[in-house]
Amino acid sequence: MDQATSAALLAAHADTGGSMDAHWMPFTANRQFKKAPRLLAKASGMHYWTPEGRQILDGVAGLWCVNAGHGRPKIVQAIQEQAAEMDYAPPFNMGHPKGFELADAVSKLTPDGLNRVFFTNSGSEAVETALKIALAYHRTRGEASRTRLIGRERGYHGVNFGGISVGGMVANRKMFGTMIAGVDHIRHTHDPAKNAFSRGQPAHGAELADDLERLVALHDASTIAAVIVEPVAGSTGVLVPPQGYLQRLRDICDKHGILLIFDEVITGFGRTGNPFAAHTFGVTPDLMTVAKGITNGCVPMGAVIAKQGIHDAFMNGPEHVIELFHGYTYSAHPLACAAGLGTLATYADEGLLTRASQMEATFADAVHGLRDLPNVIDIRNIGLVGGIELAPIAGEPGKRAFNVFLDCWDKGVLIRTTGDTIALSPPLIIEPQHIEQIVSTVAGAIRRAA
When CB distances are held under 5 to 8 angstroms depending on the partner's kind, the choice from ligand PXG, ligand PLP, none that residue 328 binds is: ligand PLP
Burial class (CB in 10 A: 0-12, 13-18, 19+), 193: exposed
Minimal distance, residue 131 CB to ligand PXG, in Å: 12
Contact string 330-369 vs ligand PXG (x = CB under 6 A): ----------------------------------------
Binding status of residue 291 toward ligand PXG by CB under 6 A: yes
d(CA 126, CA 228): 12
d(CA 219, CA 139): 18
| Among candidate residues 107, 131, 233, 225, the one with its CA nearest the CA of residue 179 | 131
Among 111, 123, 202, 231, binds ligand PXG (CB under 6 A): 123
Chain center to CA of 318: 37
CA distances from 38 to 46, 49, 64, 316, 394 (A): 18, 11, 19, 53, 27
Minimal distance, residue 302 CB to ligand PXG, in Å: 6
Helix (H, G, I), strand (E, B) or coil at 320: coil
Question: Phi/psi of residue 229, each to 5°?
Answer: -140, 155
Among 262, 281, 328, 402, binds ligand PLP (CB under 6 A): 328
d(CA 236, CA 171): 11
CB atoms within 10 A of CB 143: 14
CB distance 302 to 123 below 8 Å? yes
CA distances from 165 to 85, 91, 117, 120 (A): 41, 28, 24, 19
Q: What is the dihedral of CA 96, 97, 102, 105, to 10 degrees?
A: 150
Among 32, 329, 358, 433, binds ligand PLP (CB under 6 A): 329
Among 2, 58, 128, 230, binds ligand PXG (CB under 6 A): 230
Question: Phi/psi of residue 408, each to 5°?
Answer: -65, -40
d(CA 397, CA 432): 32
Minimal distance, residue 329 CB to ligand PLP, in Å: 3
CB distance 376 to 388 below 8 Å? yes
Closer to ligand PLP by CB, 204 or 326: give it.
Answer: 326
Among 156, 245, 262, 330, binds ligand PLP (CB under 6 A): 330
Closer to ligand PXG by CB, 122 or 140: give it.
Answer: 122
Contact string 419-448 vs ligand PXG (x = CB under 6 A): ----x-------------------------
- The interface region with ligand PLP, picked from 279-287, 303-311, 324-332, 435-443 by CB under 6 A, is 324-332
Find all residues with CB under 8 Å of 7, minimum gap 6, and list them.
36, 37
CB atoms within 10 A of CB 52: 14
Binding status of residue 9 toward ligand PXG by CB under 6 A: no
Q: Closest residue to ligand PLP, Cβ-based?
A: 329
Closer to ligand PXG by CB, 140 or 162: give it.
Answer: 162
Binding status of residue 405 toward ligand PLP by CB under 6 A: no
- The interface region with ligand PLP, picked from 8-16, 207-215, 325-333, 370-378 by CB under 6 A, is 325-333
Q: Closest residue to ligand PXG, Cβ-based?
A: 123
- The interface region with ligand PXG, picked from 17-25, 153-161, 220-228, 314-322 by CB under 6 A, is 153-161
Distance between start and end Cα atoms, the chain: 24
Closer to ligand PLP by CB, 38 or 326: give it.
Answer: 326
Enter the DSSP assignment of 151. E
Find all residues with CB under 8 Å of 217, minimum gap 6, and list them.
none
Binding to ligand PXG, residues 266-285 (CB under 6 A): 266
Binding status of residue 118 toward ligand PLP by CB under 6 A: no
Closer to ligand PXG by CB, 158 or 205: give it.
Answer: 158
When CB distances are held under 5 to 8 angstroms depending on the partner's kind, the choice from ligand PLP, ligand PXG, none that residue 122 binds is: ligand PXG
| Among candidate residues 372, 379, 392, 373, the one with its CA nearest the CA of residue 444 | 373
Enter the DSSP assignment of 274. S
Contact string 58-87 vs ligand PLP (x = CB under 6 A): ------------------------------
Binding residue count for ligand PXG, defined by CB under 6 A = 19
Binding status of residue 158 toward ligand PXG by CB under 6 A: yes
Among 240, 258, 265, 339, binds ligand PXG (CB under 6 A): 265
Enter the DSSP assignment of 285. -
| Among candidate residues 6, 5, 8, 10, the one with its CA nearest the CA of residue 39 | 6
Among 124, 140, 295, 421, binds ligand PXG (CB under 6 A): 124
Find all residues with CB under 8 Å of 215, minimum gap 6, and list them.
150, 184, 186, 224
Closer to ligand PXG by CB, 127 or 390: give it.
Answer: 127
Kindly list the residues in this chain that would bind ligand PXG in the complex (CB under 6 A): 63-64, 122-124, 127, 156-158, 230, 234-235, 263, 265-266, 291, 416, 418, 423
Rule CB under 6 A: which residues touch ligand PLP? 328-330
